[in-house]
Amino acid sequence: MRFFLYLCTLKWNIRQQAIMTTSFGYVRVAAAVPHMRVADCQYNASEIKKQITEAVQEGVQVVCFPELSITGYTCADLFFTQQLQKDALSALEDVCTFTRDLPIIVLVGAPLKVDNNLYNCAFVMTDGEVVGVVPKINLPNTGEFYEKRWFSSGRDVLENNVNSIRPRIPTIELWGNDVPFGIDLLFTTKDYSFGIELCEDLWSPLPASTQLAIQGAEIIFNLSSSNCVTGKHAFRQRMITQQSARVHCGYVYTSSGIGESTTDIVFSGSTYIAENGEMLEIGERFQMESSMIISEIDVERLRIDRQRNTNFTHDKHGQFRHVQVAPLELGLEDGATRLQDAALLDNGRPMGYGEGPLHRHFTQTPFLPKKKDSDEYCEDVLNLQVHGLLRRWQHTHAESLVIGISGGLDSTLALIVSVLAADRLGYNRSQVIGVTMPGFGTSDRTYSNAIAMMEELGISIHEIPIRDMATQHLNDIGHDLNNHDITYENAQARIRTLVLMDLANKYNGIVVGTGDMSELALGWATYCGDQMSMYGVNAGVPKTLVRYLVRYAAENIFGERLREILMDVIDTPVSPELLPTDDEGNIAQITEDKVGPYELHDFFLYYFLRYGFTREKIAFMASMAFDGVYSEEVIEHWLSVFMRRFFTQQFKRSCLPDGPKVVGVSLSPRGDWRMPSDVAVN
């Protein structure tokens, strides 16, 4: 199958795409907490309408309000009163009517009496209509909760329908319209699908969201009234994050806040937006006024993970009803007129459905840990590298490790891992053989750092200059020594590999490869040169993480003298040092001048390898992440370089030596990435 790769310059402005979220699979969602009064339904409806207006102005596609937000959660036995039930329906109708001609889907909580049973429900409305009603399934009835005193479980509706002699699709009549009602509703738009669970449904052993996601819901909205006690905020956050990861979904959660009765419990107005194990937004709790958080769910990313997880639909069962939702896509001028007529828009214009700049942020370094997790993350990576290498060392019964030390980042990390492996096995560090091989381009700085590192670490040191060998070889093949072309460069790289392999034979050792994952992605390695080793300890580590790990080792593992050397290595420009130095002995060949900034390439690599995003989407995301750092033209240029090199250099990756996977993705031809070496590049 041909893989169509678009290398032409993008014909549209990336920045303009920032206002078209659905172009790249983003769905803008909001979790809202209105200021409310217990049992004052009209007041609560008016506050909800204000927040709907705010959401429309922000281009929100779906806004979710808390459980029983029309009445308040703490009405207790007032739920039995006809007046409150009547007021709730009237306020619901008011909110529903307000959504007419507005480009938004609104989820509101309220009680509803059906067949003389009272249900705690979520109402889905858009463009002046209720398109579905979902009753709560699991009713808490312990401790401070007494929901079974007032409400019936939505599960009863489904069971009654299944056991009925004459099965029927349950619907309810609302204001003259038949509306789907039940816990088996899946809401689908032309761009995404979503499901609903209410508060306790998430806390149950089998959350409703699990089956909803298996049935196809990409986003789960949770209308909640979970109260606040010490430690609950952190626990709830972990639970939401884990559930979003478990079922590959976006998860939008909102809970009751200011205005609820504090007779026995307190509500904090907790709001969260998570996606596939990552918390995108967390709202500030205990707000005195209405509050709202907004972000975008990337449904393309979710679909890719579900596609890769072939077990995802194995537990699919039951017959869920699909409710088609067609939210109004209103023009800006029409929207402004509509809201101004309602006296709710003073200045400016509302955004169209899904328009406006993204609220979510993209880190420039997706392979790096969050600061709070930094130490544990670095320890994990180093442990994976060390244990991979020591296992290979033990299995081969080798007496030594042989490693080329250039004084650059990659060989420095490989040396650190080798020394740690020797320490872990209880071997003498002299069994690690470091080899420095000065060539035509070796600078005084890197040479000095290489020697100093090896001395400080107490390993065996070999210095084998390759200038004479390279000169003889180039003369033998009739190559002009003044022609500093690819032959001139690669001859040195292959000679270095020859030296290392022969030393490994001499000392019964294995050659430790130093090349990193970013170089493998770009093919920035000499075939049968530094591309080859007996174990590629850095093969699963991208360049940005190599630098990060060396810094971690400098600050946390070694003493002051070695720390100084390692910090200088970090500050040294990345270079293969295959071209002659300048007149002052400094590095003349800078890798990033040739192939581009590694921070950009690692960004491209992560989203291409992990999610398979299109070139246009990766460019868009990079323009957001590196806004003010690189221009759109620069991003487009280096993305083209990345794509071209990635697809033309697969033959080097197809015969890679073994190496550990450490960051969740790898380029191993036996593992994560399998691709023909001659795949078409268009």
CA distance 293 to 282: 7
CATH number of the domain to which 453 belongs: 3.40.50.620
Considering the domain architecture, whether residues 318 and 395 belong to the same structural domain is answered as no
C-alpha 674/C-alpha 34 separation (Å) is 51
Q: Is residue 214 part of a domain?
A: yes
Instruction: Round the CA-based radius of gyration of the chain to a whole number and report it.
Output: 31
Cα–Cα dist 18/15, whole Å: 5
Residue by residue, DSSP assigns 585-620 as S-----HHHHH--HHHHHHHHHHHHHH---HHHHHH
Q: What percent of the chain has pLDDT over 90?
A: 73
Q: Are residues 328 and 390 in the same domain?
A: no
- pLDDT tier, 348 (very low <50, low <70, confident <90, very high otherwise): low
Please say if 661 is a catalytic residue. no
Helix (H) or strand (E) holding 27: strand 26-33
Nearest CA-CA partner of 106 in 149, 35, 49: 49
Report the alpha-carbon angle 544-549-552, nearest 5.
Answer: 130
Same-domain status, 392 and 336: no
> What backbone phi and psi angles, to 5 degrees, belong to 319?
-115, 100
Q: Is residue 380 part of a domain?
A: yes
Q: Is residue 633, in this structure, part of any structural domain at all?
A: no
Tokens 């626990």 identify what position? Answer: 235
Rounded distance between C-alpha atoms, residue 157 and residue 179, angstroms = 14
As a whole number of angstroms, the distance between CA 255 and CA 269 comes to 5
Domain membership of residue 3 (yes or no) is no
Q: Name the catalytic one among 64, 75, 136, 147.
A: 136
- To the nearest 10 degrees (0 to 180), the angle between helices 332-341 and 41-57 is 150
Which residue would you say has higher pLDDT here, 345 or 139?
139
- Kindly state whether residues 578 and 512 are assigned to the same domain: yes
CB 295 within 8 A of CB 289: no
Classify residue 603: in a domain, yes or no. no
Average pLDDT over residues 263-290: 90
Extract the tokens encoding 11: 């014909």
> Which has the higher per-residue pLDDT, 216 or 170?
216
What CATH number has the domain bearing residue 331?
3.60.110.10
Reported as a pLDDT band with limits 50, 70 and 90, residue 10 is: very low
Q: Which of the listed residues 561, 595, 629 is the one where a domain comes to its end? A: 595
User: In terms of residue numbers, what domain contains 422?
Assistant: 371-595
- Quick check: is 168 in a domain? yes
Sequence-separated (6 or more) residues with CB below 8 Å from residue 139: 120, 147, 148, 151, 153, 200
Q: Which residue has the tokens 């840990």?
A: 369
Q: How confident is the model at residue 578 (pLDDT cuts 50, 70, 90)?
A: confident
499 and 539, same domain (yes or no): yes
Q: Are 219 and 249 spatial neighbours (Cβ–Cβ below 8 Å)? A: yes
Is 651 in a helix, a strand, or coil? helix
Q: Which residue has the higher pLDDT, 191 or 578?
A: 191
User: Which among 92, 112, 111 has a CA at the least distance from the CA of 49?
Assistant: 92
Q: Which of 47, 54, 58, 67 is catalytic?
A: 67
pTM: 0.88
Is residue 613 a part of any domain in this protein? Answer: no
Percentage of residues in the chain with pLDDT exceeding 70?
A: 91
- Do 321 and 375 lie in one domain? The reply is no
User: What does residue 393 show for φ and ψ, rounded to 5 degrees?
Assistant: -60, -45
Choose, from 199, 228, 249, 378, the residue flagged as catalytic. Answer: 199
**Are 323 and 393 in the same domain?**
no
Q: Is 67 in the active site?
A: yes
Q: Where is pLDDT greater, at 458 or 352?
A: 458
Classified as helix, coil or strand, 39 is: coil
Sign of CA dihedral 395, 400, 404, 410: positive
Asked if residue 539 lies in contact with residue 471, where contact means CB atoms within 8 angstroms, the answer is no
Judge contact between 211 and 318, C-beta under 8 A: yes
Q: Are residues 495 and 577 in the same domain?
A: yes
Catalytic-residue membership of 136: yes
- The reply to whether 241 and 161 lie within a common domain is yes
Report yes or no on 616 lying in a domain. no
Maximum alpha-carbon separation in the chain: 101
Query: What would the DSSP string read from start to end of 254-308?
Result: EE--TTS--SS------EEEEETTEEEEEPPSS-SS-EEEEEEEEHHHHHHHHHH
Residues 377 and 327 in one domain: no
How many residues would you count in the chain? Answer: 682
Sign of CA dihedral 252, 253, 257, 259: positive
- Which of 17-31, 233-247, 577-591 has the largest mean confidence? 233-247
**Structure tokens of 39?**
């049992």
> Chain centroid to CA 491: how far?
41
- Pick from 549, 568, 595: which residue ends a domain? 595
pLDDT digits (tens, 9 = 90+) for 484-510: 999 999 999 999 999 999 999 999 999
**Do 465 and 330 share a structural domain?**
no
Domain count, the chain: 2
* Whole-angstrom distance, CA of residue 333 vs CA of residue 212: 37
3-state helix, strand, coil split of the chain in percent (to 5) is 40, 15, 40
What backbone torsions phi and psi does residue 649 show, to the nearest 5 degrees? -110, 15
Residue type, 66: P
Q: How confident is the model at residue 19 (pLDDT cuts 50, 70, 90)?
A: very low
Q: Are residues 100 and 223 in the same domain?
A: yes
